[in-house]
A and B are shown apart, each in its own frame.
Chain A
């Protein structure tokens, strides 16, 4: 899921995609990105609601 897809210890002849985890990690990190966005939004909303409750007290 991570690491270099270039199997030889040289950039000679390298073409095409070369990002970390090529061919094995794409879906994992796409789902992780979605999860991080959702978690951030939920946590941010909870913090905001707590601030409003505190103000009402």
Chain B
């Protein structure tokens, strides 16, 4: 005869069943959350890449517009090739350099355990299984892609300064040296949690004022010294002529595209939370493992940009320099982008907008023909951005964890000096070798005729440029 079980017993079975069901459901939810987080992290960096391609669309437009019409397409070719050659060479060498050299040339691992010969060879060698389609690794490709865009940005920074007189082959070699070897060595030292500038000096450069802009600007300066000015740039008495580009509106829109792309650049400087490779389970972090938020970046990108544009307007009244000033404002605040009180970011950006045209005039007065002001905008303003952290943001922990080294003026000064030298020395030496080998400068006849007619099989304006009379 069936007997009803005691109530307590029935309740116990019910609870056990419910607990088992809830446990299963919890595991399922945790797995779903993990999939969502991993997917969003992957998309976060994936999206930063087309945003950064806007930087290169901008540089392309800017550089072609800043050229005279006889050189417009040759300038475009140069810019496209810099981008194209950086991609495979950064795959082959640059990514490995970043992970191999943070502690210096010893190839030893640092305290964070994510550097050195063995680590770099495991995750970033061009022969590594992480460097291709891999169902167990959804991060390496998007990280490499973002860094490749950073690398291409350094080469594009140089590209505009050299327009209208550099040979393509020499330029491509310089672009590869800068984009796939030089800047990434500086990044290993100062933009990596095991970087010796970070662990030894507390160097802080969140958005790469130094490791991208200073290095690229000073590399460009080294090249310009050997390349020499365009024919007609300087009068016999040493005073400078203005060589106007053929399409200033195209140049200005290009600069705005670069600024749009910088949102991708700077978002990719943040480390997404909650992944095995993340610094934090709960919050965005800098590349050094220090906490930050995308809101912090947003405040300061916009305020710095505005400060730089307004200051450049005051200094020049000229739209090309105003847009360069907007970019200079962002570069000024980039190193401390995660720290600034926004009105201070406005002031730091404003100072960058003042520094830029002054340095551009100084460079020109030395007989150096920097066609787009890259040395001033990226080199000098990059240094300012790094030093500004040492002036206004001293005392922040430079790494995650406790008892770590803090930011200081001395640390930033050392970092700025290292970045300037890491850029200038190879830029000068490699361009000097190219000059001696006959691969740097185009012949004078080609420069006078125009590079498009000399070596480009198509014409920028086959029906000529329209000339209009002003409206009555």
Contact = CB atoms under 8 A, between A and B. Distances in A.
B343 interface: no
Interface string B161-187: 000000111001100000000000000
A51 B439 contact: no
Identify which of A17, A19, A41, A45 gathers the most chain B CB atoms within 10 Å of its CB: A17
Given A16-B134, A18-B135, A56-B445, A30 B129 contact: no
Nearest to A51: B455
A56 B443 contact: yes
Given A30-B92, A37-B88, A41-B169, A52 B135 contact: no
A48 B133 contact: no
A33 B132 CA distance: 15
Interface in B115-160: 126-127, 129-130, 132-137
B127 A45 contact: no
Interface of B: 85, 88-89, 91-92, 126-127, 129-130, 132-137, 167-169, 172-173, 439, 442-443, 445-446, 449, 454-455
Contacts of A55: 443, 445-446, 449, 454
A9 interface: no
18 contacts: A16-B134, A17-B132, A17-B136, A17-B137, A18-B134, A18-B135, A19-B132, A26-B127, A34-B92, A37-B89, A41-B172, A44-B169, A47-B455, A48-B169, A55-B445, A55-B446, A55-B449, A55-B454
A41 B168 CA distance: 9
Contact of A45 (B130, B169, B443, B446): B169
Contacts of A51: 446, 454-455
Interface residues of A, number: 22
Given A41-B172, A45-B169, A56-B445, A17 B92 contact: no
Contacts of A56: 443, 445
Contacts of A45: 167-169, 439
B5 to A, nearest CB: 44
Contact of A16 (B85, B129, B167, B169): B129
B126 to A, nearest CB: 5
B88 A48 contact: no
A22 B30 CA distance: 32
A37 B85 contact: yes
Contacts of B169: 41, 44-45, 48
